[in-house]
Structure 1
Amino acid sequence: MDKMNDLEMRHEREVHFALDELFYSRTDKRGVIIAGNEIFRRVSGFEWSDLVGAPHKIVRHPDMPRAVFRVLWDAIQKGHPMGAYVKNRAKGGGWYWVYAIILPIEGGYLSVRLKPSSELSDRMMKLYSEISARERAESLDPEASAKLLRKNSEAGGYPSYTAFMGYALAQELAERDRRLGRPVEPRTRMLADLNEAMGRLTSEQLGLLRSFEALQSVPNNMRIVASRLEPSGGPVSTISENYKASSVVISERLRKFVAGRDNLCARMSWEVARALFMLGCTRIVGEMNTILQSEGSGGEIDSATERTLLRGLERHGDEEARKAMQGASEFAAQMKQQSRELRRLMLGLDTIRVLGRVECGRMRDASGGLSATIDQLDAFHDDIKARLEAIMHLSEEIEQALTRYLRSLALAA
């Protein structure tokens, strides 16, 4: 009963605001509030005299894990826009959740925030609670807890936290449009479609690497079997040595393709994530500008100045998204070509595998161990070729989607 009363009390203290309302605030480099909109002031419960000149952490809620702010600051201090779910506190102890986009600007930072309403927001609130509990119980420093946050993104199949936040923004915009009865906005649809394709592509990349790493043990098994079936230097030993030499060459190519810090897949994923996030940001910034116009210029905040800044950010964001999409399209074309090349190299391995199968047949009754080893090769080869085919098609799908969108932008201009 006490727990239920506590939950009810906390629910009653939530500060509500409408789904079509957006918060706006601008700070200097130190995070000191310079300006904001009336919705921000009203929901926070503070007066402008309390907000302007105060650090933005005046609205930080103690329930928030430090991990989130470490990830945010790491990004924006390097000049990269970033997003996050944030629980804020209101004056008098109330609280409210937002999805915030934070954009670095000359002399400081700008944030636009919307009301989260997707299923993902519920999952993130639960994750925040778990990370906060670990921060307290294990005395985790911000960087250690930030790793937990990034690890959660990777576990979900996203190559980076930025990619995950692009997906989150797409989910929030789509659900917001649905609840407000708005038609699906083309940029939002593209966000969702490309995020889904990138998630599948990342899954195929990881599966490809795992299969190929597992494949490396098979030639050793083949040599062990050969030592029992034939004299040293026999045909099975020769086949296993040839297979190992060829697979090493492919392994090196594959690692440059899907592994390592600057691999082709990671570079394309980064460009797609950046493009998607900027598309979502520019849409929200444009809507924020419209809201500021309806609020008018009055009171302590000069909304005309803020609107001029937002218009510039919207243009800059569109241009950055276009550049990122162009770069991602070029990487996707390279991915497609590399997939074809790796598939061609796999055909060479197939030839060696077939020779092993022939030798297995020649040995007949004595070849039980060899037969099982060749069966392993068959299974790995089938999986690798299927994944390469999937990566090639997904790369083409992403390239075509980006090219269509870039073409539509050119026509609109």
Structure 2
Amino acid sequence: MPFALEELFFSRTETRGRILAGNSVFQRVSQYSWDEMMGQPHNIIRHPHMPRAVFFILWEKLRAGLPVGAYVKNRSKDGGYYWVFAVVTPVEDGYLSVRLKPGSAFFGEAAKLYASICEYESRSAVKPAESAAELTDRLHGIGFRDYAAFMTAALGEEIRARDAGLKRRPWPVLRPFEDLVRSADLLLTTTGRMLGMISTFSYTPANLRIQASRMGEEGRAISEISANYARISQSIVKNLEELGTSADEVFAVVNEGLFLTCIARLQAEMASLFDEEASGGDIALRDEAGRLIRQAEDYKAHAAEKFDLIKQRIRHFIELASEMKRLLSGLVAVRVMGKVESVNMRSGIFFDLIGDLERGHAGLASGLDEIGRLNDRISDNVRELDTVA
């Protein structure tokens, strides 16, 4: 059942998913009359070729009070089908779903993925939670860290494709926000690589001290140096762990910010379209239009709050990176003294252990250089968003 690119439609349900309201486009494409739909479960339009995994994820998010987006294949009354990208948000005493016509490259890939997941569900007779885990694994395999990252990227691409199809000017918020997401993803990758060096700074100083103790008086100097190295290394390990947690927070909040910003725009357009439709209607229609307008305003405020949180999370990460740089600079003198003292040791193991520390130091320094460049990019993205958001 076709519907036009410029059309949006919505439905509102109570908490169990029974239909309470919608617009004329929703009624038209479903081919059910309002009498047939009102009070019925929303799955009256569910197509059998939809993976159960998607609905498991959708309900899991909604029950947690979170908005969610998904490609959905629906079935009309005559047995036909139509695809949408649905954005579902919690509202008072239920849920609101706003749908657009998908047309991006993401849509084609999602349709193929859905078909393969449906086949997997049929072949393996798995539970919905297991199928959801399989879907998430497959998304990870094509470059998405989790379902939230996928739905955020997909919604952004659908808005871009819709604007292009309707000959609209590109939405100025989208590109810098997507750049911010990519930078946050690289930040997470770089920090993860640095976290892999924790063992070097956790165990090598202790091994150095053990070897020095076996040398007796001759190893006293290297033992003291290794003790100093261990103290600084403990701080480095703690900072690395905090840096990893902070990178996770930055990545999550940036994706949430983009998703909320896209929702706010979509709901605002839906509210405007339905306000026109309801202007000559009865009180119930005008009340529903008012609900949509309030929901759009709420999500605009949520998006603004999330953007403020993004800036806070980024500032915290930059502070941690600066502290790591300071700690590494403190290691330089200790490492040099250790290398000098190891020359006088009879055992080559000291050279090996000092070499491990040097390689660890070089790895962290390289990671920090990359983080510094990413922080500059992120700061530029935030400044640009400040001017266009």
Give TM class, smaller chain.
0.7 to 0.9
Kept after mapping to 2: 8 A contact 1:159/1:266: no
Kept after mapping to 2: 8 A contact 1:336/1:393: no
- What's the CA shift for 1:214? 5.5
Moved more, 214-223 or 383-392: 214-223
Amino acid at match of 2:22: G
Distance 1:321 1:309 in 2: 18
**1:272 counterpart = 2:254:** yes
Amino acid at match of 1:265: A
Using a 3 Å threshold, how does the CA distance of structure 1 residues 338 and 26 change in structure 2: closer, same or farther? same
- What's the CA shift for 1:310? 1.7
2:129 to 130, 143, 158: 143
- What's the CA shift for 1:296? 5.1
Which runs of 5 or more structure 2 residues have no equivalent in the other structure?
Answer: none
2:175 to 189, 201, 210: 189
Deviations 1:245-301 (A, max 9, x none): 43233212221231xxxx333333333222211110111112222332454567899
**1:96 counterpart = 2:82:** yes
Is the partner of 2:197 in helix, strand or coil? Answer: helix
Moved more, 38-47 or 103-112: 38-47
Amino acid at match of 2:192: L
Q: Which residue in 1 is equivalent to 2:365?
A: 385
Q: What TM-score do the two structures reach when normalised by structure 1?
A: 0.81
**1:34 counterpart = 2:59:** no
- What's the CA shift for 1:135? 3.1
Distance 1:215 1:121 in 2: 46
Distance 1:227 1:282 in 2: 64
Amino acid at match of 2:256: R
Distance 2:51 2:208 in 1: 52
- What's the CA shift for 1:336? 0.6
Distance 2:362 2:373 in 1: 17
Q: Which residue in 1 is equivalent to 2:40?
A: 54
Kept after mapping to 2: 8 A contact 1:158/1:199: no
Moved more, 375-384 or 71-80: 375-384
Equivalenced residues, count? 388
Distance 1:215 1:120 in 2: 43
Using a 3 Å threshold, how does the CA distance of structure 1 residues 173 and 408 change in structure 2: closer, same or farther? closer
Distance 2:37 2:279 in 1: 18
Which runs of 5 or more structure 1 residues have no equivalent in the other structure?
Answer: 1-14
Distance 1:151 1:220 in 2: 39
- What's the CA shift for 1:55? 0.7
Kept after mapping to 2: 8 A contact 1:325/1:406: no
- Report percent identity of matched pairs: 36
Is the partner of 2:74 in helix, strand or coil? Answer: strand
**1:350 counterpart = 2:332:** yes
Kept after mapping to 2: 8 A contact 1:339/1:388: yes
Q: Which residue in 2 is equivalent to 1:9?
A: none
Deviations 1:17-60 (A, max 9, x none): 33322221111111111122222222223232222221111111
Kept after mapping to 2: 8 A contact 1:286/1:311: yes
Moved more, 289-298 or 169-178: 289-298
Distance 1:378 1:46 in 2: 71
Using a 3 Å threshold, how does the CA distance of structure 1 residues 227 and 87 change in structure 2: closer, same or farther? farther
- What's the CA shift for 1:142? 2.3
Q: Which residue in 2 is equivalent to 1:77?
A: 63
Kept after mapping to 1: 8 A contact 2:235/2:327: no
Using a 3 Å threshold, how does the CA distance of structure 1 residues 372 and 171 change in structure 2: closer, same or farther? farther
Distance 1:168 1:352 in 2: 50
Distance 2:137 2:225 in 1: 41
- What's the CA shift for 1:379? 3.4
